[in-house]
Amino acid sequence: MQAAGAKGLAVKEEAFIRILPALEPDALHKLSAAKATVIFTSAHAVQIVFSAINTQPPWQVFCLSGATKAAVARFMDARAIQDTAMDGATLAEKILARKDIKECLFFCGRKRMNSLPRMLSEKNISLKEITVYDTLLTPKEIKDRYDGILFFSPTAVASFFAVNDLPSHTVLFSVGHTTTQALKKYSGNMIITGKYPAAGHLIELAASFDFDAGRPS
């Protein structure tokens, strides 16, 4: 937010989703004691899982970069993070490149994207999915008109466009490729996609955008 404020850009935050934990702590404690290859594609999943266990598990972790990696690093030694990627499909490719991996645990939300599970399944990787949260859409009508809107998940996109439309000049800023694909289903407006999935990076992109000229400054 400081980057935006320094450039005279006023930013208003609105929540269009709610995260509801949906975890079975007893089962998680058993899993946390065992060596495993673990996948995280959401910082929400990381926070919910580690809030339920009181130890650093003997896991090797594959996760998305940006906020998800940062969340894992708060709870585990950085050496536990085997690899990262900007999206689920690329992360699946990196897991498949490791010929020693035959099974994985995937901590995810109930509305998770399908690309990673599908790709691993097609290559006969045993994947145990553990749903640790639900995402509740909380749409609200936005009466003000904005030069730019930042979106941080496909579910937030669906929630926003359930009750809103946009003038053609509004620039859409997307945290990643899956969110961009969701935006394209609802709008033909200009979309700026972040180079890596982090909120601070997306805010910096908006702060440096020349809205009068309709292009990055």
The tens digit of pLDDT for each residue in 27-85 reads 788 889 899 999 999 999 999 999 998 788 999 999 999 899 999 999 999 999 999 99
**Rounded-to-5 percentages of helix, strand, coil across the chain:** 35, 25, 40
108 backbone dihedrals φ, ψ, rounded to 5°: -150, 175
- Kind of pairing between the strands at 148-151 and 171-174: parallel
How many Cα atoms within 13 Å fall on the side-chain side of residue 16? 22
- The CATH code of domain 2-14+138-216 reads 3.40.50
pLDDT band at 5 (very low <50, low <70, confident <90, very high): low
Strand partners, 83: 62
Quick one: tokens of 162?
A: 């359930």
**Could you state, in order of their start, the residue ranges of all structural domains in the chain?**
2-14+138-216, 18-135
CATH architecture of 18-135: 3-Layer(aba) Sandwich (3.40)
Task: Output the pTM of the full model.
Answer: 0.85
